[in-house]
Amino acid sequence: MEQMNEAQRKAAAHREGPLLVLAGPGSGKTLVITARTKYLVETCKVPPEHILVVTFTKAAAASMRERFCGLMGGERPPVTFGTFHAVFFQILKHAYGYTASAVAREEQKRQAALETAERMGLDIPDQAEFLKGVLGEISYVKNEGIRPEEYVSRACPGGSFPRFFREYGRRMRAQGLLDFDDMLVYCRELLMARKDILAAWQRRYRYILVDEFQDVNAMQYETVKLLAGSSANLFIVGDDDQSIYRFRGARPQLMRQFQKDYPQADTVLLNVNYRCGKEILHCASRLIACNKQRFSKEIEAFHSGGAPVRIHPFAGVAEENAFLLGDIRKKHEAGVPYREMAVLFRTNVQPRQLMEKLMAYNIPFRMKDGLPDMYSHFIARNLLAYIRLGMGERSRGLFLSVMNRPNRYISREAVEKPQVFFSDLLNYYSGRGWMEERIRTFEEDVSCLEGMSPYTAIHYIRRVIGYEDYLREYARERGMEEEELLDVLAELQEASRPYASYEEWFAHMKEYQEEWKRQMEEQAKEREAVQLMTMHSSKGLEYQTVYLTEANEGLNPYKRSVTDEEIEEERRLFYVAMTRAKEELHICWVRERCGRPAQPSRFLRELSEPEEPKASRGAARGKGARKPGGRREACAGNPEICGREGRAEALRHAEGKGVQKP
């Protein structure tokens, strides 16, 4: 404890009762948790088997266990370090005799979902997208403890989600399978129903430490409270400013609820950031202070150096990528390892163009979220089907994929032959004039595609054939945002722009997909690589240099975020992304995206001109906690530099360089 700061020592030496530890980015929370565990074992003489340390991932639990054993001089006392799911499964295992084979593998969950969709006759144009969406929604409903009828699904069309939810559950139970979310639901039900079992586990785990508390959902919190019982030895560590998993049920309000549930709890603020340079931390703190529903904090930087935050405007994504490519190469030549550079995106479809550039210049990279292959998206498959029909192909599968996109009311019975010709369709619908007219229009549209460039062809499919209207209708039927699908469509059209012929574009796609497969194989073993990831995936990581891309309205904050609560979470996400940087932070925005004018993110203005926040609820008590507002130094207010030059000087600097203010 001698090497800890005062706030860390206070938290680590806490003995009995509840404690809330507010741990900002880079504040040494893992050290505090492991040191407090050591303190309980060595100083307080707590039997180690009575201590439970809970976190969210197996990797985090394993890392914490190793850190603890290191502090103990290599000894391995039987403290339980585990994920929520592992702990809950252990309880269920003792009660019901579950074995590991009962835990559903991902492929078993996907198969059950596919079989359910097939039995219900659901139209699934993109299998991967559907499975990701519907399984995520099932998880959300279970974790929120709500009835499926109360949930508006985006994955299941036409109000079919409640039936899908129950059919999927029955199919899983029939196979004797449970998923991670079932572990939570069943465990809570067990502990509430069986007081004897609850009492046994309360005697077993007399001290509970919870990491990343801002990420817990209501069901997890209620279950942990049950285990803590009347002794209330709950040591929770988290940062409401880093709560970014609302879609999983995480609520930063639970940290304030903790104070209401345990009014006797003390609060300690870990107020020193050991990661970020002073300028980066200063700007990030200015941004997050705009959130009103938060614990107010003033965090100090341990490192006084670091470059000012650089904000770069670009004409478009191509110019932004040229800057990223050049700056990464320059830094690497100057001795910065590739692995110490990270490019962060709001969504995982954004990096496609940058990936192509990195491949072309043989710069190694890793995509933490998995490499997105947009050419496998159902929209890409539909566009290519239209184009191949225009080139003369007539296979039944190709025809079926687009004949009713948009709906032309063509029956599958009309296209039973392996090769489909328009003359056969006209014969099938002979005498039905309105259908004959639709088929002739379809044939004419297909023939028009034959000699076009890929870019023009996609425009024709979108606007003349009516595929864009089909996507809008598709989105409405499924409760989806139209813009999500239209963005994929626009991105595909933009990707086709450089190619004069279909053959050139197809050759590029083949080359891209081959390289995509090669990169997927190489990524598992490649360590010396530039890191590409979404902002969500960057949480908990740190890099010497970080680039935030396309900091534009519609992405940051994301276009679906409209309520105050949603905007505050988007601001927290941007704050998390900013605080991944140790020495350099570059924020880029573009004036045009997908052929449409784009505006800089409101967060860029807030970096230099934050609104004076209203009194925050639940101001942090304890060492290092201060009242909101009253910052002594302001960020520079221009779009190129966010440092400590002062607003007037910074604006003069921007005008001199011809940089446009956001």
What is 636-662 written as a DSSP string? --SSSEESSS-HHHHHHHHHHHTPPP-
- Which ranges in 194-316 belong to alpha helices (H)? 195-204, 218-228, 253-261, 278-288
User: In angstroms, rounded to a whole number, what is the distance separating the alpha carbons of residues 217 and 384?
Assistant: 43
Question: pLDDT confidence of 639, banded at 50, 70, 90?
Answer: very low
For the sheet containing 234-238, what is the strand order? 80-83, 51-55, 207-210, 234-238, 19-23, 266-270
Q: What is the pLDDT of residues 328-360, one digit of tens each?
A: 999 999 999 999 999 999 988 788 889 888 888
Q: Maximum Cα–Cα distance for the chain, whole Å?
A: 92
Q: Mean pLDDT check: name the lowest of 66-80, 317-331, 425-439, 521-535.
A: 521-535
SS3 of residue 112 by DSSP: helix
Transcribe 308-360 into DSSP letters.
Answer: PEEEEEESSHHHHHHHHHHHHHHHHHTT--GGGEEEEESSTTTTHHHHHHHHH
Query: Tokens 């129950």, residue?
Result: 166
- Alpha-carbon separation of residue 577 from 23, 251, 266, 540 (angstroms): 16, 19, 30, 10
Mean per-residue pLDDT for 470-490? 82
According to DSSP, the residues that pair with 586 across neighbouring strands are 310, 547
SS3 of residue 226 by DSSP: helix
Percent of the chain with pLDDT over 90: 66
SS3 of residue 11 by DSSP: helix
The two beta strands, 341-345 and 309-314, are unpaired
User: In angstroms, rounded to a whole number, what is the distance separating the alpha carbons of residues 245 and 300?
Assistant: 26
Instruction: State residue 633's pLDDT score.
Output: 33
User: In angstroms, rounded to a whole number, what is the distance separating the alpha carbons of residues 167 and 193?
Assistant: 26
Q: Mean pLDDT check: name the lowest of 123-137, 270-284, 382-396.
A: 123-137
According to DSSP, the residues that pair with 20 across neighbouring strands are 236, 267
Instruction: State residue 548's pLDDT score.
Output: 98
SS3 of residue 223 by DSSP: helix
Instruction: State residue 662's pLDDT score.
Output: 36
Confirm if 542 and 582 have CB atoms less than 8 A apart.
yes
SS3 of residue 433 by DSSP: helix
**Exposed e or buried b per residue across 51-66, where buried means at least 16 C-beta atoms within 10 angstroms of its C-beta:** bbbbbbeeebbeebbe
Look at 526 and 333; give whichever has higher pLDDT.
333
- For the chain, the first-to-last Cα distance in angstroms comes to 46
Look at 553 and 124; give whichever has higher pLDDT.
553
User: In angstroms, rounded to a whole number, what is the distance separating the alpha carbons of residues 409 and 414?
Assistant: 11
Instruction: State residue 67's pLDDT score.
Output: 93
Q: What is the pLDDT of residues 565-606, one digit of tens each?
A: 999 999 999 999 999 999 999 999 999 987 789 999 999 999
Percent of the chain with pLDDT over 70: 90
Q: What is the pLDDT of residues 37-57, one digit of tens each?
A: 999 999 999 999 999 999 988
- Model confidence at 418: pLDDT above 50: yes
Q: What is the pLDDT of residues 619-638, one digit of tens each?
A: 444 444 333 333 333 333 34
Instruction: State residue 163's pLDDT score.
Output: 95
Q: What is the pLDDT of residues 1-21, one digit of tens each?
A: 778 999 999 999 999 999 999
User: In angstroms, rounded to a whole number, what is the distance separating the alpha carbons of residues 603 and 662?
Assistant: 10
Question: pLDDT confidence of 368, banded at 50, 70, 90?
Answer: confident
- Model confidence at 455: pLDDT above 70: yes
Q: What is the pLDDT of residues 146-173, one digit of tens each?
A: 899 999 888 887 789 999 999 999 999 9
Instruction: State residue 602's pLDDT score.
Output: 96
Which pair of structure tokens corresponds to residue 330?
A: 């320059």
Look at 613 and 166; give whichever has higher pLDDT.
166
- Alpha-carbon separation of residue 437 from 250, 430, 443, 469, 563 (angstroms): 54, 11, 10, 20, 47
User: In angstroms, rounded to a whole number, what is the distance separating the alpha carbons of residues 662 and 589?
Assistant: 9
Question: pLDDT confidence of 362, banded at 50, 70, 90?
Answer: confident
Share the mean pLDDT of the chain. 87
Q: Mean pLDDT check: name the lowest of 31-35, 129-133, 136-140.
A: 129-133
Confirm if 204 and 49 have CB atoms less than 8 A apart.
yes
Instruction: State residue 370's pLDDT score.
Output: 66
Q: Which residues contact 630 (CB under 8 A, 6 or more apart)?
A: none
According to DSSP, the residues that pair with 593 across neighbouring strands are 596
Q: Mean pLDDT check: name the lowest of 211-220, 309-318, 650-659.
A: 650-659
